[in-house]
């Protein structure tokens, strides 16, 4: 007995939905929302995630970056 590959099954569903809605993401998303509303299930909507300040910790080559963005020698 062969177990179906879940990745291939998901790809097939994605391609079927894409072809059904002419690969229009807005139409695909509207269909997903419609199906959720019709299902009668309770869906959880999480609050937006805070965007963290991106601060470089190290530059390529291993040298540290100080607060004023000047590089300092790498520790040995």
Around 16, how many Cα atoms within 13 Å sit in the side-chain half-sphere? 6
H, E, C per residue of the chain: CCCCCHHHHHHHHHHHHHHHCCCCHHHHHHHHHHHHHHHCCCCCCCCCCCCCCCCCCECCCCCEECCCCCEECCCC
Query: What pLDDT digit, counting tens, does each position of 47-67 carry?
Result: 888 877 777 666 666 555 555
**Other Cβ atoms closer than 10 A to 65:** 14
Query: What pLDDT digit, counting tens, does each position of 1-38 carry?
Result: 777 889 999 999 899 989 999 999 999 999 989 999 99
How distant is the alpha carbon of residue 13 from its chain centre? 18
Domain residue extents for the chain: 1-38
- pLDDT value at residue 3: 79
């Amino acid at each position: 007995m062969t177990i179906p590959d879940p990745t291939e099954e998901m790809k097939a569903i994605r391609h079927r939905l894409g072809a059904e809605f002419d690969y229009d993401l807005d139409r695909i998303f509207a269909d997903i929302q419609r199906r959720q509303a019709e299902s009668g299930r309770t869906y959880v909507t999480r609050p937006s995630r805070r965007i963290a300040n991106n601060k470089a910790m190290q530059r390529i080559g291993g040298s540290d970056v100080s607060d004023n963005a000047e590089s300092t020698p790498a520790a040995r």
